[in-house]
Amino acid sequence: MTKKEKNGAHCSFCGRPEEAVEKLISGPESYICDKCVRLCIEIVDKKPIHHELKILKPKEIKASLDAYVIGQERAKKTISVAVYNHYKRIRSLQKESEIEYSKSNVLLLGPTGSGKTLIARTLANILDVPFAIADATTLTEAGYVGEDVENIILRLVQAADYDIARAEQGIIYVDEIDKVRKTTGNVSITRDVSGEGVQQALLKIVEGTIANVPPKGGRKHPNQEYIRVNTQNILFIVGGAFVHLEKIIAKRLGKSTIGFDVGEARVFDTNEINYLLSKVEPEDLIQFGMIPEFVGRFNSIANCNELTIQDLVDILIKPKNAIIKQYQYLFAEENVSLKFTDDGLRAMAEKAKKTGTGARALRMIVESLLLELMFDIPSDPTIKEIIVDEECITSQKKPKVIRLQTS
3-state secondary structure of 165: helix
Q: Is 118 annotated as a binding residue?
A: yes
Residue 139 per-residue DSSP state: B
Distant-in-sequence, close-in-space partners of 147: CB < 8 Å, separation ≥ 6 = 138, 139, 140
C-alpha 261/C-alpha 103 separation (Å) is: 38
Q: Is 115 annotated as a binding residue?
A: yes
The yes-or-no verdict on residue 147 having pLDDT over 80 is no
Q: Is 285 annotated as a binding residue?
A: no
pLDDT tens, residue by residue, 371-406? 999 999 999 999 999 999 999 999 999 999 999 886
What average pLDDT does the segment 70-93 reach?
A: 88
What average pLDDT does the segment 153-177 reach?
A: 91
Q: Is 40 annotated as a binding residue?
A: no
pLDDT tens, residue by residue, 269-305? 878 888 898 899 999 999 999 999 999 999 899 999 9
Task: State the Cα angle at 210 between 192 and 145, rounded to 5°.
Answer: 30
The yes-or-no verdict on residue 87 having pLDDT over 60 is yes
Average pLDDT of the chain, as a whole number:
84
CA 97 to chain centre: 32
What average pLDDT does the segment 134-152 reach?
A: 72
pLDDT tens, residue by residue, 341-368? 999 999 999 999 999 888 889 999 999 9
The yes-or-no verdict on residue 190 having pLDDT over 50 is no
- How high is the pLDDT of residue 20? 81
pLDDT tens, residue by residue, 202-213? 988 998 889 888
C-alpha 132/C-alpha 114 separation (Å) is: 19
Q: Is 117 annotated as a binding residue?
A: yes
- How high is the pLDDT of residue 292? 93
Q: Is 111 annotated as a binding residue?
A: yes
Which has the closest alpha carbon to 392: 383, 382, 400? 400
The yes-or-no verdict on residue 186 having pLDDT over 50 is no
C-alpha 398/C-alpha 373 separation (Å) is: 9
Q: Where residue 137 falls among pLDDT bands split at 50, 70, 90?
A: confident
CA dihedral 249, 254, 256, 259 (to 10 degrees): 130
C-alpha 95/C-alpha 115 separation (Å) is: 35
